[in-house]
Amino acid sequence: MATNIVFIGLGNMGLPMAQNLVRAGYAVTGFDLVPASVRQFADGGGLVSDDQAAAIGQADIVFTMLPASRHVLGAYLGDAGILAQARPGTLLIDCSTISTEAARQVGRAAQEKGLPMLDAPVSGGTAGATNGTLTFMVGGEESALAAARPYLDVMGKAVFHAGGSGCGQTVKICNNMLLGILMIGTSEAIRLGVANGLDPKVVSDVMAKSSGRNWTLDVYNPCPGVAENVPASRGYTGGFGVDLMLKDLGLAVESALASGASVPLGALSRNLYSLHSKAGSGALDFSSIYQLLGDKT
């Protein structure tokens, strides 16, 4: 295929996303600050280059998947940023989870340069990134989304247009706030059952078929040994980190303060994840909040 893609950010999410584009037949040049990630990308058929500016200048599409708002602002803005390097008409797609205001700031700057841009954060975790089953929550112009859709469809199973610039980030923040709340509630409920002598698998199975059913019970159970192929059953390694959930809950609280919304459970969830992170669990999967609520099992 003739489309020339640059993908910046080959971390736990970005690497499998970029690899799926490569497997679909696209020419993808990958960049990351971690040399091992770049080597892994190259081993899977991806292209690598020592000159990021030149690669961006030749690209039809630039994807970014970066950790936080400051990284996205640094990558896109300034004399050495993506906006200064991209040629006219280059489609820019940021899949990072950042603040709504940061997304709008970059979007405005891109618009001033005549560059179509989407904020397109994702849901589905590392498994979704690997399997190409992510959900994309997109903010930006309809025309830009229409141009991006063939590539998003390679990496995901669902693409939702949330509205204008920044709206993708807003709906992602809402989703992840709810996810954090549900994970804590699910962990509490299982802990309560165990404290009263019940088998955690029995508790989970009953709730999964009852009114307490939710995503964390169905596919991401936080109690070790209840479900296979989830972080809880491999020492809470892999998956979505505590510190990343803490970041997203912080974005939710910031958004609530800016908009005057009330998020008492979101704020409480942020505090609990902050305690969990400060206790040394920041690198563990976010389902390890189960450990904070009782003795480690």
State how far the Cα of 61 lies from the Cα of 67, in Å rounded to an integer: 20
Are the C-beta atoms of residues 190 and 222 closer than 8 Å to each other? yes
Q: Which of 252, 99, 240 has its CA nearest to residue 174? A: 252
Q: φ and ψ at 132, to 5 degrees?
A: 70, 35
201 is catalytic: no
Tell me the chain's radius of gyration from C-alpha atoms: 20
113, 157, 172, 278: the active-site residue: 172
Concatenated DSSP letters of 238-264: SSSBHHHHHHHHHHHHHHHHHHT---H
Are the C-beta atoms of residues 83 and 71 closer than 8 Å to each other? no
State how far the Cα of 32 lies from the Cα of 266, in Å rounded to an integer: 32
What amino acid positions are annotated as catalytic residues? 172
